[in-house]
């Protein structure tokens, strides 16, 4: 059993253990006196794990019900949350009760948002079942839904009261979704841990439990320093500005989030290396690792397509867009670029920019 304690506005523990979902009731009972627990899950995950989670909650005295929505990012909408509200109302869910988010990032973000807003906020538990949600979205309290204008535009910071990570759930995950998660795992190595990066590069089949633990520990450190995402937390967005632009260019199909982040991170690192802001050889190390984990190293799109698609990015503030650049593997910095100067900045290939302008 591995355990990571997170000290934010609401402090909580993250447990990583094989088979832990069958003990959900025990862990949830430790953190609440709730009478009712509502499991929120989607049509992919509910048939696999909802009964097991429900049985365990029942065993520990919870009155349980299960809300299941159609799987897919396109359901991450206020209309689905409204259906959740109706379900919560029909089941008399009070402020003292609890929501259990069982599934990947869409489920966690949306059930978290329902928890943040139902009766102005009730407790919720994250049981992430994809690698991406285990290493990233289930930790740190970002909850959201998408609008037609963009992803995650409406949301709230609302920390879970408990996170249960069961690596056994990854055995049912299609390969592509494992690769999707590895895009984020590699990101953690790039921004904060040369040791993690090297383990991923050197070992044939690195211990997944240890990898999840290391990623979650890095995320905990960052989130504890900057819960509301006003500074350091932006480093978690390495590769994401170009990644989100690529997702938009692909019209959110044909490329996963982790794949887009991987391709975006590599393109960015090639550019900053050419500009003399990143140690020579860094992009090549990243390229080799992405290939090893079956992640894309190129896309049909060039900077000419990608730069305009960064407009409206959530990482913009006023007239600036904050990028995360690598100094080296395991060492990054935040670098704001004026939106009006984006094209100039990225066209300055080969010219050196002073790294001293960097923040963080």
By CB under 6 A, residue 220 contacts ligand GLY? no
Q: Phi-psi bin for 322: left (phi > 0), alpha (psi -120 to 50), beta?
A: beta
By CB under 6 A, residue 109 contacts ligand GLY? no
Query: Least CB distance from residue 99 to ligand GLY, whole Å?
Result: 19
By CB under 6 A, residue 187 contacts ligand GLY? no
By CB under 6 A, residue 263 contacts ligand GLY? no
By CB under 6 A, residue 236 contacts ligand GLY? yes
DSSP H helices, 144-251, are 175-192, 194-202, 208-225, 240-249
Residue 109 has a CB neighbour count (10 Å cut-off) of 23
From residue 158, give the alpha-carbon distance in Å to each of 56, 108, 118, 139, 346.
25, 11, 12, 10, 36
By CB under 6 A, residue 76 contacts ligand GLY? no
Residue whose CB is less far from ligand GLY, 42 or 136: 136
- Distance separating alpha carbons of residues 237 and 231, to the nearest angstrom: 11
By CB under 6 A, residue 218 contacts ligand GLY? no
By CB under 6 A, residue 270 contacts ligand GLY? no
The correct pick among 136, 166, 227, 273 for binding ligand GLY (CB under 6 A) is 136
- Distance separating alpha carbons of residues 197 and 265, to the nearest angstrom: 14
Pick out residues in 21-60 that bind ligand GLY (CB under 6 A): none
β-sheet bridge partners, residue 156: 143
The correct pick among 109, 229, 247, 259 for binding ligand GLY (CB under 6 A) is 229
β-sheet bridge partners, residue 320: 317, 338
By CB under 6 A, residue 315 contacts ligand GLY? no
Residue whose CB is less far from ligand GLY, 36 or 315: 315
Instruction: Please list, in sequence order, all residues whose beta carbon lies within 8 angstroms of the beta carbon of residue 114, skipping any fewer than 6 positions away.
Output: 40, 81, 84, 85, 88, 99
By CB under 6 A, residue 296 contacts ligand GLY? no
* Stretch near ligand GLY under the rule CB under 6 A, chosen from 4-12, 92-100, 228-236, 308-316: 228-236
By CB under 6 A, residue 285 contacts ligand GLY? no
Residues in contact with ligand GLY, counted by CB under 6 A, come to a total of: 6
- Distance separating alpha carbons of residues 180 and 342, to the nearest angstrom: 28
By CB under 6 A, residue 20 contacts ligand GLY? no
The correct pick among 140, 189, 258, 336 for binding ligand GLY (CB under 6 A) is 140
Instruction: Please list, in sequence order, all residues whose beta carbon lies within 8 angstroms of the beta carbon of residue 196, skipping any fewer than 6 positions away.
Output: 185, 188, 189, 211, 214, 215, 218, 330
The correct pick among 142, 187, 192, 315 for binding ligand GLY (CB under 6 A) is 142
Do the beta carbons of residue 11 and residue 91 sit within 8 Å? no
- Distance separating alpha carbons of residues 220 and 209, to the nearest angstrom: 16
Query: Least CB distance from residue 50 to ligand GLY, whole Å?
Result: 26
Give the footprint of ligand GLY on this chain (CB under 6 A). 136, 140, 142, 229, 233, 236
């Amino acid at each position: 059993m591995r355990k990571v304690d997170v000290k934010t506005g609401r402090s909580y523990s993250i447990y990583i253990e094989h088979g832990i979902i069958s003990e959900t009731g025990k862990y949830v009972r430790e953190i609440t006196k709730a009478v009712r627990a509502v499991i929120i899950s989607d049509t992919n995950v509910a048939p696999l794990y909802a009964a097991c989670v429900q049985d365990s909650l029942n065993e520990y005295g919870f009155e349980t019900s299960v809300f299941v929505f159609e799987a897919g990012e396109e359901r991450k909408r206020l209309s689905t949350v409204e259906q959740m509200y109706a379900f919560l109302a029909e089941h008399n869910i009070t402020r003292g009760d609890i929501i259990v988010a069982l599934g990947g990032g869409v489920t966690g973000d949306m059930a978290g948002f329902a928890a943040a807003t139902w009766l102005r906020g009730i407790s919720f538990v994250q049981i992430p079942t994809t690698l991406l949600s285990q290493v990233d979205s289930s930790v740190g309290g970002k909850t959201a839904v998408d609008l037609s204008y963009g992803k995650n535009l409406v949301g709230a910071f609302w920390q879970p009261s408990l996170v249960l990570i069961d690596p056994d759930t990854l055995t049912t995950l299609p390969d592509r979704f494992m690769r999707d998660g590895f895009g984020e795992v590699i990101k953690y190595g790039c921004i904060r841990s040369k040791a993690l990066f090297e383990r991923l590069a050197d070992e044939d089949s690195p211990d997944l439990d240890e990898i999840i633990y290391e990623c979650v520990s890095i995320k905990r450190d960052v989130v504890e320093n900057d819960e509301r995402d006003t500074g350091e937390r932006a480093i978690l967005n390495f590769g994401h500005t170009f990644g989100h632009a690529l997702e938009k260019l692909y019209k959110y199909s044909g490329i996963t989030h982790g794949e887009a982040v991987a391709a975006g991170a590599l393109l960015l690192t090639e550019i900053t290396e050419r500009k003399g802001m990143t140690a020579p050889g860094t992009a090549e190390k990243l390229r080799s690792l992405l290939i090893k984990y079956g992640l894309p190293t190129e896309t049909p799109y060039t900077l000419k397509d990608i730069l305009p698609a960064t407009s409206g990015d959530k990482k913009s503030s006023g007239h600036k867009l904050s990028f995360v650049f690598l100094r080296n593997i395991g060492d990054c910095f935040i670098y704001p670029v004026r939106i009006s100067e984006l094209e100039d900045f990225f066209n300055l290939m080969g010219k050196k920019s002073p790294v001293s302008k960097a923040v963080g």
